[in-house]
Amino acid sequence: MRIDVVTIFPEYLAALDLSLVGKARQRGLLDLRVHDLRDWTADRHRTVDDTPFGGGAGMVMRPDVWGRALDDVLGTAPPEGPAGSPSSPGGDSPPPGATTLILPTPSGEVFTQRHAEDLATADRLVLACGRYEGIDARVAEHYRTGGLDVRELSIGDYVLNGGEVAALVMIEAVARLVPGMVGNPESLVEESHGAAGLLEYPVYTKPPRWQDLEIPEVLLSGHHARIDRWRRDEALRRTARRRPEMIAALDGTALDKKDVALLAELGWSVSDDGRVVALPEGEGATDRGAGPAG
């Protein structure tokens, strides 16, 4: 997979040399390139922003600078750029294949594991990191109209100073799903937000006793079926407490009898057509609304 990031702070992306993503780059699994947006400016101050039309506070990133940068990085620029534009600071020609342009923005759809799974199937991702009040809205419109897969994605309901941290979040979530990235792909199967639609069960390691706290006995039993059941129950309990909306989104037809019985204890019922619905307060719930602890 090839990933390009365009930013005015290329140093911000230094973390992409570390850990699993860094190793994947060294092993050639990920071709990751970071570009300085200012390389596509045409004035001596290397200006990327200007005042907003309509007035108001802050500055907006110019579409002409972004357009030159993205055309070049995406490979849609004419071979000889218009007078004044730099000669291809984006490097050699990008590979053919499915490309997605990602514009991180707090006003976008919230990025989830489903987006990560979907984006991990792309041949190529280009991430355009905004700053100031964001990127002129015509940039997204222009590339979308041109037929490119353009995604405006938020990493959560808060506002950061720039898109670099959001780009790091999305790249790490996507890259670990690229085949060959994670040494033991089984470790991805039961994770939070995976196919089961649950949070992961609590995990423990050595020593078996620490600060007067013991690990659940079943985990020492060596009885795989009992351990699997315990883990499933704990995942259901934890999800019901912390993220009840995820329980409500479960497909009831995929639940087994023990799941349904536990959910009933936790205050949920499963209808014949597979909907999982919270019982009215006081009915059955022993655990619901207990807060985020546990």
Site of interaction with ligand SAM (CB under 6 A): 104-107, 129-131, 133-135, 154-156, 158-163, 166
The C-alpha atoms of residue 168 and residue 16 are separated, in whole angstroms, by: 8
CB of 41 to ligand SAM, least distance (A): 18
130 is in an annotated binding site: yes
Task: Please say which residue, 7 or 99, places its beta carbon nearer to ligand SAM.
Answer: 7
67 is in an annotated binding site: no
158 is in an annotated binding site: yes
CB of 77 to ligand SAM, least distance (A): 23
160 is in an annotated binding site: yes
Please write down the HEC assignment for all residues of 64-78: HHHHHHHHHHHCCCC
8 is in an annotated binding site: no
Task: Please say which residue, 132 or 230, places its beta carbon nearer to ligand SAM.
Answer: 132
CB 17 within 8 Å of CB 47: no
Distance of CA 203 to the CA centre of its chain: 23
CA distances (Å), origin 284, targets 156, 263, 269, 277, 278 = 33, 9, 9, 12, 10
The C-alpha atoms of residue 282 and residue 267 are separated, in whole angstroms, by: 8
159 is in an annotated binding site: yes
Distance of CA 174 to the CA centre of its chain: 7
Task: Please say which residue, 155 or 278, places its beta carbon nearer to ligand SAM.
Answer: 155
CB of 66 to ligand SAM, least distance (A): 11
CB of 45 to ligand SAM, least distance (A): 20
| Residue nearest to ligand SAM according to CB distances in the complex | 130
Task: Please say which residue, 85 or 105, places its beta carbon nearer to ligand SAM.
Answer: 105
The C-alpha atoms of residue 116 and residue 172 are separated, in whole angstroms, by: 9
From the list 102, 94, 141, the residue with the least C-alpha distance to 118 is 102
Task: Please say which residue, 52 or 86, places its beta carbon nearer to ligand SAM.
Answer: 52
CB of 173 to ligand SAM, least distance (A): 13
The C-alpha atoms of residue 239 and residue 197 are separated, in whole angstroms, by: 9
Residues making up the binding site? 130, 155-160
Q: Which residues fall in the annotated binding site for S-adenosyl-L-methionine?
A: 130, 155-160
